[in-house]
């Protein structure tokens, strides 16, 4: 009853804003008003009304990222001077510009979307469609993705000038790269989530790398020179700027003619294929739930992205295994093992059962035994741990210890961390909107998500550290595996206990998952 009041707030704001708009339909102040509207929508968004802890943490990450980018920008010149002393650092940077462009296209494909849906309310107001189109595009120009590269470029260029590079040339190079960034920005919208374009980008990326790596044709060498000419000959700077302007115009022309509810502003509803997934039937009574979970993961943006992130995280170990500082039996590598084999366990598991929050009251009144429901989630995570372990087998290249560590970590995850994460799930009360993107999305995160990290990581690390220090590396791994095996053997009893916890918290969950603005 009380909650209804909360939801009404943004609605009132909108009405209020409409009022101010209808009074002044002229074009130029319009833009300013659009911008102020944007500002309000950010500061009044429910995301900002999140609990303080989450806000602080997100702010911390944002600052951390910006500072690291700026530091990288400032130090890259000297780093390159040291590592490749015989080549001009700017030339080296230019060589890798191509990879940066392709990688950015790849990332933006997943993360960035033209915010066309927000302009629906303006259709019925006396606002020119052309100014709406310009506004949407201009807004994307100042998006965080474009600002990120500035955070890197500005310090880098400053350092260049301080080290005797002629300022006008650096400026032109800077403008050229900004032009490229903007072009990427607009090209991404033209591509507009086409899978074919994504595959194209990946193919070009891999092809360039392969050509380079196996000395077939020096792509970076060649492309580097091309970008370097931006610096040498300021005339070339016109090209990226022209491309940016052209792509802007293409987007504009496209949008301008499609600002109708049934064209650009409609959510894409693709034809879908219904699957019956007969093969899951062999799993017996958990089959319907497993099918549901697989569809959940595959058909929703946030979960789908998380699968890709999880798979990519298998490379995380390379960071540590290639560092000489860690011996082959360092505790850090156990952390890596738990992390790599348990990445899906953490990403997906920590939000059980909030993934089903949109229809949780149905699940609770339908003929569903809670235990079977949880069992199917557990099986899904078991499978993910197995798959991640198989993917981690190539680490055996760094020695048999790597394989042994990952294996015992996988066992530990199976037996201990699965029940732990499921148990912590019973504390979830925050709704998750499945259609929102995964990256930087803290929706559904609460204190439980941060607390759960402690038992997941700290306990196995301490066990390993102590035993390997006091007894031996082998003993420590055997102990971890043994604990995992025992936990796995006791999984039925543990699941019973967890089910009870979920039953106790049922009403709170039902109520919490209904709250949209959490």
> Contact letters (x/-) for other proteins, 16-35, by CB under 8 A?
--------------------
Q: How many helices (H) and strands (E) does the chain have?
A: 25, 0
Q: Which of residues 367-386 bind other proteins (CB under 8 A)?
A: 367-369
Nearer to other proteins, 67 or 368 (CB): 368
504 lines the binding site for other proteins (CB under 8 A): no
Q: Which is nearer to other proteins, 352 or 480 (CB)?
A: 352
Minimum Å distance from CB 72 to other proteins? 40
Contact 432, 439 (CB under 8 A): no
Q: Which stretch binds other proteins (CB under 8 A): 167-175, 265-273, 399-407, 467-475?
A: 265-273
Q: How far is the CB of 1 from other proteins (least distance, A)?
A: 5
The answer to whether the CB of 389 falls within 8 A of the CB of 514 is no
Comparison of 39 and 359: residue with beta carbon closer to other proteins:
359
How many residues make contact with other proteins (CB under 8 A)? 35
Contacts to other proteins from residues 331-370, by CB under 8 A: 358-362, 364-369
Site for other proteins contains 510 (CB under 8 A):
yes
What is the spatial distance between Cα 204 and Cα 217, in angstroms, rounded to a whole number? 14
CB nearer to other proteins: give 322 or 366: 366
Please compute Rg for the chain using Cα positions. 26
Which of 139, 514, 515, 517 touches other proteins (CB under 8 A)? 514
Check: CB of residue 381 under 8 Å from CB of residue 344.
yes
Give the nearest distance from C-beta 18 to other proteins in angstroms: 24
Cβ 416 vs Cβ 481: under 8 Å: no
Question: Nearest CA to 456 among 491, 424, 502?
Answer: 424
Comparing CB distances to other proteins, the nearer of 474 and 496 is 496
Question: Can you tell me the distance from the alpha carbon of 121 to that of 132, in angstroms, rounded to the nearest whole number?
Answer: 11
Residue 471 touching other proteins (CB under 8 A): no
- State the CB neighbour count (10 A cutoff) for residue 227: 23
Is there binding between residue 511 and other proteins (CB under 8 A)? yes
Cβ-defined contacts of 51-55 (< 8 Å, 24+)? 51/446, 51/447, 53/447, 53/450, 54/442, 54/445, 54/446
* 282 part of the interface to other proteins, by CB under 8 A: no
Contact residue for other proteins among 288, 379, 455, 478 (CB under 8 A): 288
Where b means 16+ CB within 10 Å and e means fewer, 23-59 reads eeeeeeebeebbeebeeeeeeeeeeeebeeebeeebe
Q: Which residues bind other proteins (CB under 8 A)?
A: 1-2, 267, 269, 271-276, 287-288, 291-292, 295-296, 299-300, 358-362, 364-369, 434-435, 507, 510-511, 514
């Amino acid at each position: 009853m009380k909650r209804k009041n909360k939801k009404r707030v943004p609605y009132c704001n909108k009405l209020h804003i409409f009022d101010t708009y209808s009074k002044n339909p002229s074009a130029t102040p319009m833009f300013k008003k659009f911008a102020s509207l944007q500002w309000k929508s950010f500061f009044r968004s429910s995301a900002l009304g999140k609990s303080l802890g989450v806000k602080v943490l997100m702010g911390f990450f944002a600052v951390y990222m910006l500072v690291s980018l700026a530091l990288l920008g400032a130090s890259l010149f000297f780093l390159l001077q040291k590592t490749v002393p015989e080549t001009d650092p700017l030339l080296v940077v230019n060589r890798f510009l191509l990879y940066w462009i392709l990688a950015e296209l790849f990332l933006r494909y997943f993360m960035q979307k033209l915010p066309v849906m927000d302009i629906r309310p303006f259709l019925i107001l006396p606002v020119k469609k052309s100014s709406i189109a310009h506004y949407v595009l201009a807004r994307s120009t100042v998006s965080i993705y474009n600002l990120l590269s500035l955070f890197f470029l500005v310090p880098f260029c400053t350092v260049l000038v301080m080290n005797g590079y002629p300022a006008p040339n650096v400026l032109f190079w800077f403008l050229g790269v900004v032009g490229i960034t903007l072009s990427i920005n607009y090209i991404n919208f033209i591509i507009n989530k086409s899978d074919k374009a994504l595959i194209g980008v990946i193919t070009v990326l891999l092809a360039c790398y392969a050509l380079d790596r196996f000395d077939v044709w020096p792509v970076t060498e060649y492309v580097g020179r091309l970008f370097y000419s931006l610096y040498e000959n300021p005339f070339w700077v016109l090209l990226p700027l022209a491309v940016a302007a052209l792509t802007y115009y293409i987007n504009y022309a496209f949008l301008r003619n499609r600002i109708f509810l049934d064209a650009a502003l409609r959510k894409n509803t693709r034809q879908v294929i219904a699957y019956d997934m007969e093969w899951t039937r062999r799993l017996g009574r958990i089959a319907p739930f497993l099918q549901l979970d697989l569809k959940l993961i595959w058909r929703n943006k946030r979960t789908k992205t998380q699968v890709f992130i999880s798979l990519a995280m298998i490379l995380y170990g390379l960071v540590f295994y290639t560092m000489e500082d860690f011996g082959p039996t360092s505790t850090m590598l156990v952390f890596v093992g738990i992390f790599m084999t348990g990445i899906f366990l953490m990403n997906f598991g920590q939000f059980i059962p909030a993934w089903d929050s949109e229809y949780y009251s149905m699940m609770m009144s339908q003929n569903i035994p809670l235990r079977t429901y949880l069992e199917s989630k557990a099986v899904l995570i078991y499978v993910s741990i197995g798959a991640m372990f198989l993917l981690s087998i190539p680490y055996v290249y760094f020695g048999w210890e790597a394989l042994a560590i990952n294996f015992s970590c996988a066992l530990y995850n199976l037996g201990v961390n699965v029940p732990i994460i499921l148990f912590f799930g019973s504390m979830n009360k925050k709704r998750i909107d499945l259609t929102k993107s995964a990256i930087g999305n803290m929706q559904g995160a609460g204190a439980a998500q941060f607390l759960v990290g402690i038992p997941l990581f700290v306990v196995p690390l301490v066990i390993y550290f102590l035993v390997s220090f006091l007894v031996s590396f082998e003993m420590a791994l055997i102990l971890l595996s043994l604990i995992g095996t025992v936990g796995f053997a006791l999984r039925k009893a543990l699941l019973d206990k967890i089910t009870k916890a979920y039953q106790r918290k049922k009403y709170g969950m039902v109520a919490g998952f209904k709250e949209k603005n959490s």
